[in-house]
Chain A
Amino acid sequence: MRLGVLCSGGKDSLFACWRAMQKEEVACLITVVSRNPESYMFHTPNIRLAALQADAAGLPLVEVVTAGVEEAELDDLARAIGIAVADYDIEGVVSGAILSVYQAARIQRICHTLGLWCFNPLWHTDQQAYMEALVDAGFGVLVSGVFSEPFDERWLGRVIDRAAIDDLRTFARTHRISLTGEGGELETFVFDAPFFSRRIEVVDAAVSYRNFRGTYRIRNARLVEK
């Protein structure tokens, strides 16, 4: 089955992509770039770098820009998926949704309307096991945004490794964050994956941080040999 993967550039969508590759054929990545920083569905700090990730994965990218108006942005998602159907003949869509009924239900409705399969291979996954699998499989993931206590500025750009997972587990206990950042506490950017032929090297990034909220905005990056 040919599938398109909804890609935010973060760990969940690219790990879902990897799972999809092991079971079906991934034909393209699909990205919706939101102009609205408060978008529930699509905003991430480094969404424009999905093109570099697609290059690294050897996959075409379908990219659509949305104004990011709630609910209306779903029309733009449907448009992006429609382009993927027309250009890459996909029969289904993959998302990295873990717990968000808000996101999952909306994607399910779009797929139902378009007559497409919908897969959420991280849905209600064991978050501890998932984070460990991510590291063990060789994903290179850095923190590209923090949005809650107790994350300090040092987390911005930090690579997710075993030590980071241990710290996140501590925060999950002391501050009730979700281990994967599913509650919007943090966002990530994938710079390497088992299916990347080259990895992404960050050449220049801007850090912005205040009151437990901050972003690691990658201004310049390139593909390099692994």
Chain B
Amino acid sequence: MILVVDLCYRPGSLSAYEFVDPITAIVRGSGRDVRTCHYAQVDAALAGAAEAVILCGTALRDQGYAGHPDRFAWIRGCARPVFGICAGLQVIGRAFGGSLAACTEIGMTPVRVVRDDPLFADRAHFEAYTLHSIALDPPAELEVLAVSGACVQAVRHRTRPIGGVLFHPEVRNPWIVERFLECSLQ
């Protein structure tokens, strides 16, 4: 079972159609079982029971998740693969001591891969849909995999199967989510 975590402003919100359902559809399309939960309902036991965890993005104005870092404390100890998207990347970064800074990108954006990683399947660059007003300044434990002209777009943990992207792969790049599942569940 893949645990898809909804980071939107409340369970079952209007934003879930936009930021959670498309991710769930990609995972289902890969032939895997999905369970969707709001972040307020996720703990170490639930995350540990999943094969992998995906933390979804939120609306541009929705930063409620950032006010509850304690809700994401389980990430540091999680032995399962964890993949963050936009807001999901931010909570992963903060869980490992990274900081956030204002940085807005909206729309299709060139992304350049700066470090080989199976996630990108040998692609050196691609266009991705960005929708963020905050970027991650990653901590030392996370290495930078890809960047845009404005900020870090992808990171991974140096020793554990944890990482994520700032752009929204559900738009134009579903292969990123599929690669995460393929690579982390081999």
A residues whose Cβ falls under 8 Å from a Cβ of B: 19-20, 23-24, 92, 94, 101, 105, 108-109, 111-112, 115-126
Contact = CB atoms under 8 A, between A and B. Distances in A.
Interface in B1-46: 12-15, 17-18, 21-22, 25
Contact of A121 (B14, B25, B61): B14
Interface of B: 12-15, 17-18, 21-22, 25, 59-62, 104, 106-108, 129, 131, 133, 170-172
B18 A126 contact: no
Contacts of A118: 59-61
Contacts of B21: 124-125
Given A101-B172, A105-B106, A126-B25, 8 more contacts: A23-B12, A101-B171, A111-B60, A116-B61, A117-B61, A118-B59, A118-B61, A123-B18
A23 B14 contact: yes
Nearest to A110: B106
A5 to B, nearest CB: 11
B59 A119 contact: yes
Contacts of B171: 101, 124
Given A23-B12, A101-B129, A126-B25, A119 B106 contact: no
Contacts of B131: 108
Nearest to A91: B61
A118 B60 CA distance: 8
A108 B60 contact: yes
A187 B97 CA distance: 50
A121 B62 contact: no
A178 B25 CA distance: 18
A123 B60 contact: no
A19 to B, nearest CB: 7
Contacts of A105: 106-108, 129
> Most chain-B CB neighbours within 10 Å: which of A94, A101, A109, A124?
A124
Nearest to B170: A124
Given A101-B129, A112-B133, A118-B60, A123 B17 contact: yes
A121 B16 CA distance: 8
A123 B15 CA distance: 10
Contacts of A109: 106-107
Contacts of B129: 101, 105
15 contacts: A19-B14, A101-B129, A101-B171, A108-B131, A111-B61, A112-B133, A115-B61, A117-B59, A117-B62, A118-B59, A121-B14, A121-B18, A123-B18, A124-B25, A124-B171
B108 A121 contact: no
B101 to A, nearest CB: 17
A197 B21 CA distance: 31
Nearest to B26: A124
Contacts of B13: 23
